[in-house]
Amino acid sequence: MTQPVRVLIADDHPVVRRGLTAVLAAYDGFHLVGEVSSGEEAINFCEKTQPDVVLMDLVMPGMGGAKAIRAIRERWPQVAVIALSSFGEMALLEEALKAGAVSYLLKNVSADELAAAIRGAVTGRSALSPEVARLLIQDIRQPAGKDYNLSDREREILKLMVEGLSNVAIAQRLIISQSTVKFHVSNILSKLVVSSRTEAVALALRHHLVT
């Protein structure tokens, strides 16, 4: 009889942990061995009872997920780690993969996709959420230093997007209408060949499109 895949969940949000626990319970072949809420706790747990797979949140208080991934992989290379994140950002993706994560999934991943990723991780098979794969492909295709033919106004609005301002806040800051901001944001996404504000901000930061 095949042994169940022993899974550790590391996430500081109880609601997320409950959701992941429910996914594991819904499929045969998985055994939840523990839940922790920080990178330090994940390392300590692995030291006592090495799981087969760790589902690791990347943004937690204290030690970040990437540092925990690196520590676990260095000490226990047989433990596979799947990075889970709410953010499809190139910087986080690179950090997690360089640290040794076998896969990078966004938290909106379906239950079937997560289950498949966990099974694959045991045999070293990688998985990426579609949004993350698209971001990776775009980054490879788009050379650093390209200005993407942004106008001065679009570059100004992109900078405010990077600062986290909403369309309403941008309109107030620049004393223009919200519809004008929406028009410019749409153009920015088109020129950067991205489908969301999050991807636009990640690309802007990576390629230093704003100062």
- What are the residue ranges spanned by the domains of the chain? 5-139, 152-206
Res 1 pLDDT > 60: no
Q: In terms of C-beta density within 10 A (0-12 exposed, 13-18 middle, 19 or more buried), how is residue 120 classed?
A: middle
Residue from 53, 55, 74, 57 nearest 65 by CA: 57
Mean residue pLDDT across the chain: 88
pLDDT of residue 141: 61
The pLDDT confidence band at residue 208, using thresholds 50, 70 and 90, is confident
CATH code for the domain defined by 152-206: 1.10.10.10
The angle subtended at Cα 30 by Cα 119 and Cα 110, nearest 5°, is 60
pLDDT of residue 35: 96
Residue 99 amino acid letter? A
pLDDT per residue as tens digits for the range 112-161: 999 999 999 999 898 888 877 777 766 666 555 566 888 889 999 999 99
pLDDT of residue 102: 92
Topology of domain 5-139, per CATH?
Rossmann fold (3.40.50)
Residue burial 43-75, b: 16+ Cβ < 10 Å; e: rest: bebbeeebbbbbbbbbebeeebbbbbbbbbbee
pLDDT of residue 194: 82
Q: Which residue has the higher pLDDT, 43 or 133?
A: 43
